[in-house]
A and B are shown apart, each in its own frame.
Chain A
């Protein structure tokens, strides 16, 4: 087990190096000279030289790469170009609001999608199944933007059930007042594709021989579905949820922007708008690392769920 973890971590080194190189060259070569971006309208040659020296971009390229790697290892990406805030502080303060919205969103969405998928898979071919599938297909084809715009307008602006946007200071207020509508919208958006996907997982299992055997020996339908089928179908479901995790952190940027939630996604958008390279670089590298770690965790989880899985 430990040997497996160590080997997997060792295998991520080249990938991580690739991510670092990709980000580095993207921002160094494609991005142009950041000194001009930074100096802005009022620029003279001395100022630009000054900025270049501060950023270290008057150094040869390998020195710059070394600086970048040191930044990643130490977690110190310097200050944001736009706000002069420490990049690490930005992440630490924005992580809380993001998680306040995303964790309940993911939990509610996964539970609802599993229940709905189980139901339609059990009733496969019936009218209910077909209606739900058509609903999912059409629902999926509408842009997430439309859901957010319409729900915010109807439920918050028109009916006043929720605050239109905003963020408070206490956790309870944030969770039960400001996060409710974003969570509802997020669940509605992700429910359709997840239900469709999980339905195929359940259908794969429900036709297997072991299901027939379980029924033949007189097991109750509830137990067959919720214990036998569920356990086998949970493996691809876990993969799907784990794959979503790191992307979710940034992926909810639209929700965070519309509802003015001071989370990481909104920070990324702001950084892109302001050409705030240190923030974007830091996010990209750390989210990539997070992705690799969750992939490893997903594999370890398989082992826990399915003893047949051999870790090698």
Chain B
């Protein structure tokens, strides 16, 4: 790259990497799969598809279409009897607030001095929504006996749930990886570039974070925050997951800061910040990219475990983890489709992402083998 004798522009790192990547068939296929998932996520996020995932379109535990009508009719009979088809029962469509009694009791027993702080019914919003929905949906709505990928306990379409779960899990993975990469890169750049006590400080920080096992750290932060939600999961994963990236970026910066082009930048009066992020950063950005996609996979897996355990996304959000949680009890009744759908979607994305990471690494760093 440094031996361009004529004025013809020599190809840069990314052009060369792209040329190599184009010949990697496995890498290209994985790239397409990942792009497909990203498109799915975007479409679901903007509400183009699967925005009605929460509608109960099928009978309870509707089996997939291809398993045949026999199983389906058996399930239908079973479901027709005392099964919890929520909206079929007229008394439940009124959506009685289960907390009403408790709240009334609390209000009555409170001392009058505290009356200026109002007691808010935590279920009010949800109930209003349920009432609104059950009002708009006709009671004699026909429910399908089978659905393409089957239905869950409430008769919701598993395919749409999986798409929605893909949105949540992928978004958490991407956002948390971006946060971790940002922290790791900034910390690593500062430590590697300045050295001395700044380096010592960040190294100390690093060894503190790495001496607590990753999952334990995540769990204790989850315990402290004690609130669920997509943002919480992203913060937990991103704030704990920067250590690996930090280590690599720090080493890269230590290597690069003594190179001639950085000295040249110093000579023309570039500031420290400019040298760090305008001159050196493009030369280490391939490390960040590979680490980023490596961490997406790691964080998707962690999110699934966290949500499964109930420390992850909120109860009204569907993710692969919460689907697996429901699937666990469904499997005991022989309803395997939700488990299969979530597993297949996750395995496909994670495998594709893993292979794509390998392909990127090969393309960006041909010396490494």
- Tell me the smallest distance from the CB of A48 to a CB of chain B, in Å: 14
B332 pairs with A157, CB closer than 8 A = yes
Judging by beta carbons under 8 Å apart, are B339 and A18 in contact? Answer: no
Q: Is there contact, CB below 8 Å, between B305 and A143?
A: yes
Q: How far is the CB of A246 from chain B (nearest CB, A)?
A: 6
**Cross-chain contact of A153 among B209, B320, B332 (Cβ < 8 A):** B332
State which of B204, B219, B321, B331 has its C-beta within 8 Å of the C-beta of A268: B219
**CB <8 Å contact, B213 and A15:** no
Q: Which of B124-132, B190-198, B343-351 forms contacts with chain A? A: B343-351
- Residues 259-288 of chain A, each 1 if its beta carbon lies under 8 Å from chain B, else 0: 000000000110111010100110110011
Across the interface, do B215 and A280 meet the contact criterion of CB distance under 8 Å?
Answer: no
B216 near A269: Cβ-Cβ < 8 Å: no
Instruction: Tell me the bound Cα distance from A142 to B327 in angstroms.
Output: 15
Task: Tell me if B305 and A23 are in contact (CB < 8 A).
Answer: no
Q: How far is the CA of A15 from the CA of B321 in the complex (A)?
A: 34
Residues of A within 8 A of B351 (CB): 137-138, 141
Interface hits, B318-332 → A, CB 8 Å: 320-321, 324, 327-328, 331-332
Q: Nearest-CB distance from B214 to chain A (Å)?
A: 7
> Which residue of chain A has the shortest Cβ distance to B207 in the bound complex?
A15
Cα separation A13 to B92 with both chains bound (whole Å)? 61
Residue in A18, A144, A247, A284 whose CB lies within 8 Å of B220: A284
Minimum CB–CB distance from A40 to chain B (whole Å) comes to 14
A23: B residues at CB distance < 8 A: 220
In the assembled complex, B248 has its CB within 8 A of some CB on chain A: no
Q: Are A149 and B328 in contact (CB under 8 A)?
A: yes
Known: A283-B216, A284-B216. A277 touches B324 (CB 8 A): no
Contact flag A143-B346 (CB < 8 Å), given A18-B207, A26-B221, A26-B224? yes
Is B226 an interface residue, CB under 8 A from the partner? Answer: yes
- In the bound complex, do residue B216 and residue A268 qualify as a contact, i.e. CB atoms below 8 Å apart? yes
| A-side interface residues, number (CB < 8 Å) | 47
In the complex, the answer to whether A141 meets B346 with C-beta atoms within 8 Å is yes
Query: Separation in Å of the A216 CB from the closest CB of chain B?
Result: 25
Complexed CA–CA distance, A246 and B221 (Å): 18
Known pairs A18-B207, A143-B324; A250 contacts B224 (CB<8 A):
no
Q: Does B177 contact A (CB under 8 A)?
A: no
Is B309 interfacial (CB-CB < 8 Å)?
A: yes
Q: Are B216 and A287 in contact (CB under 8 A)?
A: yes
A18 in contact with B213 (CB, 8 Å): no
| Contact assessment for A288 and B212 in the assembled complex, using a CB-CB cutoff below 8 Å | yes
Residues of B within 8 A of A284 (CB): 212, 216-217, 220
| A15 and B219 form a contact (CB under 8 A) | no
**Chain B interface: which size bin?**
35 or more
Residues B327 and A251 in contact, CB atoms below 8 Å apart: no
Cβ of A27 < 8 Å from any Cβ of B? yes
Minimal Cβ-Cβ distance residue in A for B205: A18
Are the C-beta atoms of A247 and B216 separated by less than 8 Å?
Answer: yes
Question: Does A146 make an interface contact (CB < 8 A)?
Answer: yes
Is the CB of B355 closer than 8 A to any CB of chain A? yes
Contacts of A153 in B (CB 8 A): 331-332
Q: Mark A277-312, 1 if CB is under 8 A from B, else 0.
A: 100110110011001100000000000000000000
CB distance from B229 to the nearest CB of A (A): 15
- A247 pairs with B215, CB closer than 8 A: yes
Q: Which residues of A contact B320 (CB under 8 A)?
A: 143
In this complex, what residue of A is CB-closest to B340? A146
The verdict on A15 contacting B208 (CB below 8 Å), with A269-B219, A272-B222, A283-B216 known, is yes
| B304: Cβ under 8 A from any A Cβ | yes
Q: Does the CB pair B215–A140 fall under 8 Å? A: no
Q: What 0/1 readout, one digit per residue, does chain B (296-332) give for beta carbons within 8 Å of chain A? A: 0000010011001111000000001100100110011
Closest to B213 in A: A247
A79 contacts B by Cβ under 8 Å:
no
Apart from A253-B215, A257-B309, A284-B212, list 8 A-B contacts with CB within 8 A: A31-B224, A149-B328, A251-B213, A268-B219, A269-B309, A277-B223, A283-B220, A284-B216
25 residue pairs A–B, Cβ–Cβ below 8 Å: A19-B212, A31-B226, A141-B346, A141-B350, A141-B351, A142-B343, A142-B346, A142-B347, A143-B305, A145-B304, A145-B305, A149-B328, A247-B214, A250-B219, A251-B213, A257-B309, A269-B309, A272-B220, A275-B223, A280-B223, A283-B216, A283-B220, A287-B212, A288-B212, A291-B211
